[in-house]
Amino acid sequence: MRPKLRAKRDAFLDRIGTRPLIMGVLNVTPDSFSDGGRFAAADAALAHAREMAAAGCDIVDVGAESTRPGATPVTEAEEFARLEPILTVLADVDAPLSVDTSKAAVAARAAALGAVMINDVWGLQHDARMAETVAEAETAVVVMHNRTEKDERLDIIADVRRFFDRSLALAARAGVLPGRIILDPGIGFGKTSRQNRDCITRLSELRDYGRPILVGASRKRFLGSLTGDGSEGTLVGTVTVSLAAIAAGASIVRVHDVSEHVTALKVFQVLTSSRSR
């Protein structure tokens, strides 16, 4: 990894734990569930990344393949064809870059173009080369829990722990440094509404891993099930769940609406720091 990128990576990792951090979502796909197609053009993606950085996001997460339920998979070549022009123009954005991919070859090429973190929604378990790729590229990595099918009988936290144990074993064998690993319980991925709620309310049960926890609940469908009014698309639902996740132990929230979360977290910090004095 180039010295400038290493400095960006380390600065981001060093901020974890000093305050809640915000990962801003930049989808460059035509079919993402909330903003498909809006930022597929390089100039639109650059403008939005700069806007999020100026608003205070700590890292920009770029995704070129939709991971929503029912999305059509794309080939490695197509995913990188979407990513390459975007990463090229984002090189001068102040915030560090993460790339949301489960393909090792895409991750390697993204790292070469400036990504300092790989956000893998299959937690190093989809592509056998991913753990080695992350180790070789020296990027940080988000290990997210996922399932191919929902199973309402599961104790979801127990399942998350089994998954993380496998992923962390893969990372260790490949030589990924523990200090570069972030865990994500995978809100909205292969879980019932109740299990999504459990992943937030029982987040403290994952603290013993000693790794930072990222929660991405932004605009997810299960938010509507909390009230029964289909409010998953509303900002207030996302902000509320993000604050609940931070209160339960999350270090990072992955969101579409950066400026609103920056403001909410500032207020949250003032209130919680006053309570602790």
Whichever domain contains 67, its CATH number is: 3.20.20.20
Whole-number Å distance between alpha carbons of 241 and 185 = 14
Structure token pair of residue 76: 């490695």
Considering 254, 266, 275, 277, which one is annotated as catalytic? Answer: 254
Question: If you search the block for the tokens 């009988």, which residue do you land on?
Answer: 153
Quote the domain boundaries for residue 163: 3-276
Amino acid at 204: S
Q: Of the residues 220, 266, 275, 277, which is catalytic?
A: 220
Q: Are 124 and 171 in contact (CB under 8 A)?
A: yes
Say whether 220 is catalytic. yes
254 catalytic residue (yes or no): yes
257-268 tens-digit pLDDT:
999 999 999 999
Query: For 216-264, how does the pLDDT look when each residue is reduced to its tens digit (9 = 90+)?
Result: 998 877 776 666 665 555 788 889 999 999 999 999 999 999 999 999 9
pTM for the whole thing? 0.93
How far apart are the C-alpha atoms of 167 and 107, rounded to whole Å? Answer: 17
How many independent structural domains does the chain possess? Answer: 1
Q: Over the stretch 75-134, which tens digit does the pLDDT of each residue have?
A: 999 999 999 999 999 998 999 999 999 999 999 999 999 999 999 999 999 999 999 999
pLDDT in tens, 47-70: 999 999 999 999 999 999 987 766
Q: Is residue 250 left, alpha or beta, with left meaning phi > 0 and alpha meaning psi from -120 to 50?
A: beta
